[in-house]
A and B are shown apart, each in its own frame.
Chain A
Amino acid sequence: MVSERERIAHVYRRLGVGAHPDLIDVTSSAGEAIDRALDLGGPDKATQTIRVPQTWDEVYEVIDGYEPVVWWIDAMVDDGRLVEERLTWFWHDHFAVSAHKVDHPYAMWEHVRMLRDHATGNFAQLLKAVAKSPAMLAYLDGIDNTAWGLNENYAREVMELHTLGVGNYTQADVVAAARAFTGWKVNETFWDDDGEEVPGRFQRDDVAPWGSYLDADDFDDTVKELLGVSGNLGMDDALDVLLDQPRTATFVAGKLYRDLVGAEPDPPVLERLASEFRSDYEILPLVKAIATDPSFLADGAIRSKVRTPVEKVVTLLQAFPKVRDVSDEDFGWGLVGLLEQLGYLPFAPPNPAGYPKGNRLLGPGQLSEAFALLNAIDAPAQGMTTDDVLDRLGLVDVSDRTRAVLDQTGDPGRKIGLAFGSPEYLLT
């Protein structure tokens, strides 16, 4: 029997990134939790700390250090605009780009800021913004895709990973889309060993630093045929063709359903969600439709997913807020190191298909190393009981065995360590 409080925690875990215990305390029903999680009335986080650099020096200042990762984690820990956090991370996974390849941190920052801007908005606009995102152009080799030398990398991934799903297009479609995507560049600039600026390959004075632009000379200005549509397609035209495919709405709605509900959608449910989504590609109504489908709060949805390292550390910081300065360097570098070790560093998904999920997170290495995330919080107050610890971590309905294991020790730190490793906490 799942308690209402567990369902409330479930809503915050799935529509947000963690399960803020103070929010659980003030929420009286799962329905109210859904409303609160979907509420975008709080202050806009995107404008609080990100500023557009005016000089090349500032390009680096903006991103110099661990601050982006800490800022993002802090935003997830915050109790406002929960669904925006969930979806920003979801799109970062869906439209994965990585600092491993995009060798300009500011572009990574801007990419994620763009994802945040569109996170709860319109998928068609998001898709088109991602296609022109300097980070994506660099990550999937769009900047090397010209009429004189096609690079199919982005064209293939946009169909396989972002819209249609594998098997719903042909190699001829990949070539046609790649041709439509030709000519896009990024105004790159690099520095040499002495710190002197050297021009990037595609430097343009009339384009913002690290901005993208279409170079008409490199565009394939001819007719292409993509998925049965013929014309002199450009980037947005080709993306419109993909958006017109019914399969795209099914693919994206299904993926979002699986992320939020933690189960395969029943075909009629998916059909309904996809057809509504396809009518205008508005994201928030889709989330609302999923969250209000009975399956979202069903017993089978509770703790049906493996909790990711980011979800673990965010929940931990919500439970036991770390007292620190904004510029706490040890905390910042420590957090970066921990998440990197676990393969879950924000801005650095391991490959174009995003972060690992599911069983892959339950290997001996992953489970052992995850305990190191406990370094993100301070030593707990003395006198905390098993109930206190479970409560703070948003663990409501726990097994007798879990309670017994925690009760074996009177030490609050040990209790937190064990609760962190409990079967209930390993799932979400």
Chain B
Amino acid sequence: MTPRNDDRCSLISRRQFLVGLGATVLTAACTSKTITVFEQTSSTTTGLAGTTSTTIPPGTFAPVERTLVVLELGGGNDAMSMVVPHGNSRYYDLRPSVRIDDPIDLDGEIGLHPNLGRLAARYGAGQVAVVEGVGIHDPDLSHFSSMRRWWDGTDRPDSTGWLGRYLDGSVGYEDLLAGITVGPGPSQAMLGSGSFVVNIADAGGLTTDIPWWIDDPDELFAAWAGFAPVDVPLSELSAVERAIRGTTAARQTLDAKLSPLRRTLEAGDDGDGDADGFAKDLRVAAQLVASDSPPKVVYVHGYGDFDTHENQRAVHDRMMAELDAGIETFFSTLEAAGVADRAVLMTTSEFGRRPEDNDGGTDHGTASTQLVVGAAVNGGRYGEPPSLRRLDEDGNLIHTVDFRSTFATVLDGWLQAPHSEILRADFEVLPIF
């Protein structure tokens, strides 16, 4: 076997003896668990005033009572198995070992993976936009650098993520719970230079694993709130005291948002059995969206299982079933609460996979397909399916839609924030909204 230098992530994560600093961190890189916060480059400022001159000031974008939910399919989703070009005979030549023989036909040309039945029903109802041919130019096939570009929404690595810049320019530090990530740590995509991102792992919200000798966390936090007593006006509190008060309030608010879900889960009456994966996290996301003062952006991530170099059908089929269950759980929860029009969900993935399979799996590719789902969406097909015959020098698809076009589309069309300042350039806005 030769080293696959375009594939260090999975090479490393399978190297189990490399535990320790390596395994924790490197496996994390593959499953997008990494990345936290960050200070703008020019702001070597370390003082309390962490905002920089390049930070988009809050209020630049008018607030909207809408939520964008981003679902990251980490590891490189094989879009050709999600949205199958079954009308193209070349597909069958390229995919002898991993082809999907029984897709759910949408229009005679493409079809959805057979495990995406409920998504297909939503497509039929006009709630799903399928954007084909989405990619980055000059792709290097690396998980790391590709993810960075998707997170940053810029060509070269940036100190902030595209959704973080949206949060900077909309709510800034004012709304503590405007940006929430669900998964293992905050995503780089959500890191601004003048706003917060709150990360939760599950319906437990902002839990803190304090040592046994401190005893009850609720009592500790109640006493901690005494550093910023409620009878002292905000204007008389220092920046750090305001942060204590804000955190105390945010913990309570978040707890109130999530407690109905927690009670349901504890009663074992969640209707979905022991939902895991996307369904588990998207139910948390739905709960947040359905609450009062919902967050502006929820970022669900932490699933790196899409890196299907081998045994693709078993793994990817399962991921498609999870995806279907997740999206359905999300929207049916919102529909039951009568707030289905509040949110739009968009999938991302750092790249698609190579058109020609490798006898059981697929290697790193380029262009991919994104889904944008929601009541506000004009359902249908967007973008341009990449040619399966005219491939690049690595045998990969040549993308037809810049990945930032979908970002521009949800920014302009859904969050109503002009995209050019956030993405630092102009991109085509697709008529999805």
Contact = CB atoms under 8 A, between A and B. Distances in A.
A234 to B, nearest CB: 24
Interface size class of A (residues with CB under 8 A): 35 or more
B247 A364 contact: yes
A64 B19 contact: yes
Contacts of B34: 100, 348, 350
B144 A100 contact: yes
Given A99-B25, A195-B17, A361 B211 contact: no
Given A99-B22, A353-B38, A364-B251, A259 B46 contact: yes
A103 interface: yes
Interface residues of B, number: 86
Contact of B173 (A201, A347, A359, A372): A359
Contact of B17 (A60, A343, A354, A364): A60
Given A166-B42, A364-B176, A342 B48 contact: no
Contacts of B156: 153, 156
Contacts of B12: 103
A283 B426 CA distance: 44
B26 interface: yes
Interface string B197-232: 111100000111111111101011001101101000
Contacts of A360: 37-39, 50, 191, 193, 196
Nearest to A359: B50
Contacts of A201: 3, 5
**Which one of B5, B20, B196, B208 has the greatest number of beta carbons of chain A within 10 Å?**
B20
Given A255-B44, A350-B36, A366-B37, A371 B210 contact: yes
A192 B1 contact: yes
A306 B48 contact: yes
B196 A421 contact: no
A50 interface: no
A62 B246 CA distance: 44
B46 A379 contact: no
Given A99-B22, A306-B48, A345-B25, A354 B220 contact: no
A68 B211 CA distance: 24
Interface in A354-377: 354-369, 371-372, 374-375, 377
Interface string A60-74: 100111111100000
Given A350-B36, A364-B198, A364-B251, A372 B208 contact: yes
Given A100-B28, A365-B197, A263 B47 contact: yes
Contacts of B35: 100, 343, 350-351
Interface in A164-212: 165-166, 190-193, 195-196, 198-201
A190 B206 contact: no
Interface stretch (A3-11, A31-39, A274-282, A412-420): A412-420
A405 B227 contact: yes
B226 A408 contact: yes
Nearest to B216: A414
A362 B240 contact: yes
A423 interface: yes
Nearest to B177: A364
Contact of A417 (B18, B191, B210, B227): B210
A27 B41 CA distance: 37
Contact of A63 (B21, B48, B240): B21
Nearest to A409: B223
B344 to A, nearest CB: 24
B250 interface: yes
A336 B70 CA distance: 28
B188 to A, nearest CB: 7
Contacts of A199: 3
Nearest to B220: A417
A28 interface: no
Nearest to A255: B44
A356 B215 contact: no
Interface in A329-359: 336-337, 340-345, 347-348, 350-359
Interface string B226-253: 1101000000001111011011001100
B196 A364 contact: yes
Contacts of A192: 1, 3
Contacts of A341: 185
B11 interface: yes
A262 B47 contact: yes
Given A193-B1, A367-B243, A426-B240, A375 B210 contact: yes
A23 interface: no
Interface in A292-312: 304-306
A195 B206 CA distance: 41
A18 interface: no
B8 A305 contact: no
A165 B198 contact: no
Nearest to A424: B240
B238 to A, nearest CB: 6
A353 B39 contact: yes
B43 interface: yes
Contacts of B45: 258, 264, 357-358
B47 A258 contact: yes
A105 interface: yes
A358 B246 contact: no
B227 A100 contact: no
B273 to A, nearest CB: 29
6 contacts: A105-B21, A360-B39, A367-B243, A374-B214, A408-B223, A411-B215
Given A100-B29, A360-B191, 4 more contacts: A199-B3, A343-B36, A351-B148, A371-B217
Task: Report the 5 A-B pairs with minimum CB-CB distance, sorted nearest first.
Answer: A343-B36, A358-B50, A356-B37, A65-B20, A363-B196
